[in-house]
A = this chain, B = another copy of it.
Amino acid sequence: MTSELERLFEHLRFASISTDSRHVADVRANAEWLVGQFEGMGMATEIHETPGNPIVIARNKHVGGRRTVLIYGHYDVQPVDPLELWDSAPFEPEIRDGKIWGRGGADNKGQHFVHMLGAEKTIREDGELPVNVIFLIEGEEEIGSPNLVPFLEEHRDELACDIIAVSDTGMVALGVPTLGYGLRGITCLEVMVKGPSGDLHSGVYGGAVANPAMAAARMVASLHEDDGKIAVDGFYDDVIPLEDWERKMWAKVPGASDEDFLKTTGSLESFGEPGYSIAERLWGRPTVEVNGIGSGYQGEGSKTVLPAEAMFKLSCRLVPGQDPAMVQEKVEAHLRTHTPAGVTIEIEKGHSGKAYHNDPHSDYGKAAQRALTTSFGKEPVLIREGGSIPIIQDMKEILGSDSLMLGLALPDCQIHAPNENFAVENFECGILMSQALLKELAKA
Known: A202-B317, A270-B342, A287-B207. A295 touches B297 (CB 8 A): no
Q: Count chain B CB atoms within 10 A of each CB in A190, A221, A343, A387 and give the residue with the most.
A: A221
A63 at the interface (CB under 8 A from B): no
A203 in the interface (beta carbon within 8 A): yes
Is A275 part of the binding interface, using a Cβ–Cβ cutoff of 8 Å? no
Report yes or no: B289 in contact with A197, Cβ–Cβ below 8 A: no
Hey, which chain B residues are within 8 Å of A205, CB to CB?
261, 265, 282, 386
Q: Contact: B282 with A304, CB < 8 Å?
A: no
Q: Does A71 contact B (CB under 8 A)?
A: no
In the complex, what distance in Å separates the CA atom of A37 from the CA atom of B303?
36
Protomer copies: 2
CB contacts (< 8 Å) of A261 on chain B: these are 205, 208-209
Instruction: Determine if A17 is an interface residue (Cβ-Cβ < 8 Å).
Output: no
Minimum C-beta distance from A298 to chain B (A): 4
Closest to A200 in B: B265
Give the distance in Å from the alpha carbon of A266 to the alpha carbon of B194 in the complex. Answer: 10
Selected from B207, B313, B351, the residue in CB contact (under 8 A) with A273 is B207
- B265 lies within 8 A of A197 (CB): yes
Instruction: Please tell me if A213 contacts chain B, counting CB pairs below 8 Å.
Output: yes
Q: Are B350 and A302 in contact (CB under 8 A)?
A: yes
The proximity string for A residues 303-324 relative to B, scoring 1 for CB distances below 8 Å and 0 otherwise, is 1111100111101010000000
Alpha-carbon separation in the docked complex, A411 to B295 (Å): 26
Please name 20 pairs of A and B residues whose Cβ atoms are closer than 8 Å in the assembled complex, sorted by A: A184-B203, A188-B304, A202-B287, A202-B291, A205-B261, A205-B265, A205-B386, A206-B289, A206-B317, A207-B273, A207-B286, A207-B287, A207-B386, A208-B278, A211-B290, A217-B293, A220-B221, A290-B296, A293-B295, A302-B315
The 8 closest A-B pairs by CB, nearest first: A197-B266, A203-B387, A207-B287, A292-B296, A217-B220, A221-B221, A210-B271, A294-B298
